[in-house]
């Protein structure tokens, strides 16, 4: 274990290095990747009637996955210093089901690191309060337990996540949602109206220009893309006493890492979300030992390592071990996004 003083000193040094780098007005690698992703999506969907679906669908799914990774970058202030411009890059809903503004809100709340894994305060937590878990019926419990394996999370969780999100949004629209985070102070109707407007050109392109049925697009592109994203999210967090110990690292991921824009180095991302994706690996090499010491060794060599451990075995118990996340000492709390 590092001493408290040593950990604090190294943390301060790491943050100082990051903050000393001047912020460029436009991160051109990210901007070019955004344009390439949209261009590739237009080209591959246009090929729907000319190429076999077993070629079109996987390429389109990868591009939609990359689009989601780029939206994640944009949530954290990339690729320009102008939020309005960044927002325009993110608003086109290639996945159709997730309004960018809702994702922007919930993911920023997720980055309140002292509440990570809390069943109520962390919108990306899969944990339950024991009393809520006890109220679930056997079918619901079984479906959640299956999704604690990587296979279940990918196959069932992809459709389940979309369905549960849309259900919660309907409750929020009807003002029947009791959870403040889901209900939120956002104008949910405005967010969804704007989202539906942005969906129109996507649907027109798919239906009119590409002659692709929406159900085909959803089943062969959107759901698989969501499943790929769930591989990344599967082992990102674990309920542990220390704040930094709750955030994992997946090293050596040269297949999925680029697709996730190196968010597999998740502990680094939670510490310094302002650095662009193309600087992650260099930054990680400098701070690797400190990050691993601080997260208690919650490290996987690759996503194949994650699959080997948890493909058909449970990742963790679903009732949160302490019910709720207790308040954290300020010195343990990483910087917010």
Angstrom distance (rounded) from CA 109 to CA 1: 30
Asked if residue 183 has pLDDT above 90, the reply is no
Band (200; pLDDT cuts 50, 70, 90): very high
- For residue 268, with 0-12 CB atoms within 10 Å meaning exposed, 13-18 middle and 19 or more buried, which class applies? buried
**Biggest alpha carbon distance in the chain?**
63
- For residue 248, with 0-12 CB atoms within 10 Å meaning exposed, 13-18 middle and 19 or more buried, which class applies? buried
pLDDT value at residue 4: 36
Asked if residue 279 has pLDDT above 80, the reply is yes
Backbone angles phi, psi at 156, to 5 degrees: -85, -40
Band (12; pLDDT cuts 50, 70, 90): very low
Closest to 43 (Cα-Cα) out of 205, 203, 171, 186: 205
Band (122; pLDDT cuts 50, 70, 90): very high
Residue found by looking up tokens 């325009």 in the block: 88
Angstrom distance (rounded) from CA 220 to CA 30: 27
Closest to 111 (Cα-Cα) out of 93, 124, 129: 124
Cα 247–Cα 250–Cα 253 angle in degrees, nearest 5: 155
Positive or negative torsion for Cα 193, 195, 200, 201: positive
Closest to 250 (Cα-Cα) out of 228, 276, 268: 268
Angstrom distance (rounded) from CA 292 to CA 248: 9
Asked if residue 301 has pLDDT above 70, the reply is yes
Asked if residue 141 has pLDDT above 50, the reply is yes
pLDDT value at residue 281: 96
pTM above 0.85, yes or no: yes
pLDDT value at residue 170: 87
């Amino acid at each position: 274990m590092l001493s408290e003083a040593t950990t604090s000193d190294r943390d301060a040094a790491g943050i100082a290095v990051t903050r000393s780098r001047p912020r460029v007005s436009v991160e051109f690698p990210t901007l070019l990747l955004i344009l390439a992703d949209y261009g590739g999506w237009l080209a591959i969907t246009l090929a729907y009637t000319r190429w076999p679906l077993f070629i079109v669908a996987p390429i389109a799914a990868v591009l939609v996955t990359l689009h989601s990774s780029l939206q994640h970058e944009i949530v954290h202030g990339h690729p320009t210093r102008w939020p309005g411009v960044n927002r325009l890059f993110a608003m086109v809903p290639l996945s159709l089901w997730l309004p960018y503004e809702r994702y922007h809100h919930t993911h920023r709340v997720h980055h309140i690191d002292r509440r990570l894994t809390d069943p109520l305060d962390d919108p990306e937590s899969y944990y339950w309060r024991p009393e809520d878990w006890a109220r679930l019926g056997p079918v619901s419990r079984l479906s959640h337990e299956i999704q604690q394996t990587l296979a279940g999370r990918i196959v069932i969780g992809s459709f389940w996540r979309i369905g549960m999100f849309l259900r919660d949004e309907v409750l929020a629209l009807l003002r029947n949602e009791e959870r403040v985070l889901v209900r939120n102070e956002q104008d949910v109707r405005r967010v969804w109206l704007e989202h539906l407007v942005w969906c129109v050109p996507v649907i027109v392109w798919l239906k009119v220009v590409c002659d692709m049925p929406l159900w085909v697009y959803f089943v062969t592109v959107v759901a698989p893309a969501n499943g790929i994203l769930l591989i990344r999210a599967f082992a990102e967090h674990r309920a542990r006493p220390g704040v930094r110990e709750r955030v994992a690292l997946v090293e050596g991921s040269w297949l999925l890492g680029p697709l996730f824009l190196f968010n597999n180095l998740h502990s680094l991302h939670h510490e310094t979300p302002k650095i662009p994706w193309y600087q992650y690996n260099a930054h990680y090499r400098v701070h690797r030992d400190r990050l691993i010491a601080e997260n208690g060794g919650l490290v996987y060599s690759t996503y194949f390592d994650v699959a080997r451990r948890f493909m058909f075995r449970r990742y963790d118990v679903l009732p949160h071990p302490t019910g709720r996340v207790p308040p954290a000492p300020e010195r343990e709390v990483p910087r917010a996004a």
